Chain A
Amino acid sequence: MTIDWHKATDAELLAACHTQEEPFAVFYRRHERLIAGWLMRRSGRADVVGDLIAEVFAAAYIAAPRFRPGPQPAQAWLLGIARNKLLDSLRRERVDASARQRLQIDAIRLSQESTIVLQELGELDPLQLLSELPTDQREAISARVIEDLDYDELAARLSISPQVARKRVSRGLSSLRRRLQHEGADR
């Protein structure tokens, strides 16, 4: 029986990616735009973002068996990796290469076309996308992803239970991803 991995959840893809090749390919394509746009908007440097994206996904592939499905969506997990990699790279004044070295991935040389795509992605205004979300999801995502609050802090701020906080962030990130993919299709 052939599995249609495009219909699989992120957690299913991550769980299967060390035993089959296709799940991680699907996972990569599903989140490439989110990570590329996030890194581009924060670094503003198309010349290093190619290496950073590769580093983030290489780290995600290595860590995939440790991903535990739960209320926190895989996008938040992946964005957490991206944030750590970016901070680390800024601190060291060079793109972190630990995961790429482990998987023997060489430095990425982007074509001019890819560089233009990245620059366009960097111009997407995430706040505008955020503002299109329902208020409860917008507040939850802003506090969790931008302010980096943990779920207990987030729950205390919004006067809700940590479970509800997780659910709001999860729903909001799913909506954001759909919108980002939609914007990509329009381009």
Chain B
Amino acid sequence: MTLLPEVESAILDAVRRDHRRRARSRTSKLRSVPLRAPLIALALLLGTTTIALAASGVILTGAPVSVRAHLEPTVGYGIPTPGKSRLLPLRAPDPAGGLPWGMRVVHTTRGYLCVQIGRVDHGQLGELGIDGAFHDDGRFHALPVDAFPKDVSLEQGFNIECNQEAQTTFAGEIVGLQPNAASNARTGSPANRREISFGLLGPKAIRIAYHSGSQTHTGKLLRGLGAYLIVQRATSDRQPGSISIGFTFGNATLPARPNGALTAIGYRYGTKTCTDTGQEEILRACGLPEGPPPKPAPLPASHEPLRVHLSVRHHVVTAAVVSFRAPYPVTSARESYILEAHACHGGDAIQGSKRNLAKAATVRIAIGLALSRGCSGPMRFTAKYRRGLDGINDFTSLGAVTVHIPPGDRAKPLPSRPPRSRWMRERLREARRSGAHR
């Protein structure tokens, strides 16, 4: 007798499917019986060769990591811009030896800059078939250039981190990646976890210091981008899977601050050098302007009528959309249209468009989630156009509309899993930054 029939049925159906898949796999193996003996001989030969090659520091190559299909260049993060991905000439040794770690920068068609982390073999970034990845085939699997791996969600980010290009300096940290660098990082033993500190600190960064155990070391910095990569064993008190990014605005009024293993970052501005240890008032120490950056020239005013479409089924609002004409184009992730409303228990409910739009095209933004988070009663939505200028967001108000749910009907309950993606957190962060304009 089960407590939760829905869970039991979902699990046992999955087990059944897995058994069917295994049975099919066994059948296909039996069909190839005449080839089995030669294949076994070949496998033994390859196995022996792998061991021999591994011992001599050479590793066999397996199939490339599967890539994500069906991505659109004008939606969400976009797709990698062909020819603009670059494996940086920066290598970090693994604490256990073997292939070094490296990082690749990937520019996307929507103006994101992503940093991808992996092991490097013959100038290629990739993952290793060890610790449960790739059926432990012991091979190197290249991460294809100009494509995103299939198993990684860019929003969750594990061995890849994406930020808008305007925010190109950051100091990040990944705790929990395994020596295999696998995108689906739930493989391997917790004892093998790596703590990877990486970042792009920009051309003003000239040196870094980082801690390793109780000691402090000076790290390598790739001049120009200010890139660095440090790989250490994760200490037991660090939680697996966490990623934290201390990024900054592109106009250098707020340089990236030490994060992860970094204890200090040295900068040079003109003839002045200064060191940020995370404690001091770095802006003053570096002689940087401390006030807010100058506001950009406002866009010409535009007032757009907002239309609301509610779909109601069995007295529940199953879909809700606000639409209006786009007075300005959206050409990358630096621009977007958003709708703001006050959520029920404080804070803002923000919904936004995640795709490029031509001027005068129709903007459609779903507000179902905002309605679910709102209090009962009418909810007022304000439409705004956001443009990122040197990392600073500027907002232009376009109009407002009040949404009334018809008497007797109600908003759809919140989903069991809150769909609060990194994209949504970015919007919330933007809204907080834009506090001054309201």
Contacts and interface: CB of A to CB of B under 8 A. Distances in A.
Contacts of B18: 18, 61, 103
Interface stretch (B4-12, B76-84, B300-308): B4-12
B15 A47 contact: no
Contacts of B11: 24, 28, 54, 57-58, 61, 105
Nearest to A18: B22
Interface stretch (A109-117, A137-145, A160-168): A109-117
Given A103-B17, A103-B18, A53 B7 contact: yes
Contact of B240 (A50, A57, A88, A118): A88
B4 A104 contact: no
Of the four ranges (under 10, 10 to 19, 20 to 34, 35 or more), the interface on chain B belongs to 20 to 34
A107 interface: yes
Interface centre among B4, B5, B12, B13 (most CB of A within 10 A): B4
Contact of A32 (B3, B156, B417, B418): B3
Main secondary structure on A side of the interface with B: helix
Contacts, number: 111
A93 interface: yes
A51 B417 contact: yes
B6 A109 contact: yes
Contacts of A36: 3-4
Contacts of A111: 5-6
Contact of A118 (B4, B19, B241): B4
A130 B184 CA distance: 37
Interface string A1-45: 000000000000000011011001100110011001000000000
Given A88-B240, A111-B6, A94 B16 contact: no
Nearest to A17: B15
A54 B240 contact: no
B416 interface: yes
Given A33-B3, A184-B3, A48 B416 contact: yes
A156 interface: no
A48 B417 CA distance: 6
B242 interface: yes
Of the four ranges (under 10, 10 to 19, 20 to 34, 35 or more), the interface on chain A belongs to 35 or more
Contacts of B373: none
Contacts of A92: 156, 241
A16 to B, nearest CB: 12
B4 A50 contact: yes
A98 interface: yes
A99 B18 CA distance: 13
Nearest to A106: B10
A93 B418 contact: yes
A114 B14 contact: no
A169 interface: no
A98 to B, nearest CB: 5
A158 interface: no
A59 interface: yes
Nearest to A117: B3
Given A48-B417, A103-B17, A54 B10 contact: yes
B418 A58 contact: no
Contacts of A88: 240-241
A84 interface: yes
B184 to A, nearest CB: 6
27 contacts: A21-B15, A21-B16, A24-B12, A24-B15, A29-B1, A32-B2, A32-B4, A32-B7, A47-B414, A48-B416, A50-B4, A50-B6, A61-B14, A88-B240, A91-B241, A95-B417, A100-B14, A103-B18, A104-B14, A105-B11, A108-B416, A109-B416, A110-B6, A110-B7, A110-B416, A111-B6, A117-B3
A-B CB proximity, top 8 nearest: A103-B14, A47-B416, A98-B186, A114-B4, A105-B14, A57-B11, A53-B7, A24-B15
Interface of A: 17-18, 20-21, 24-25, 28-29, 32-33, 36, 47-48, 50-51, 53-54, 57-59, 61, 84, 87-88, 91-95, 98-100, 102-111, 114, 117-118, 121, 184
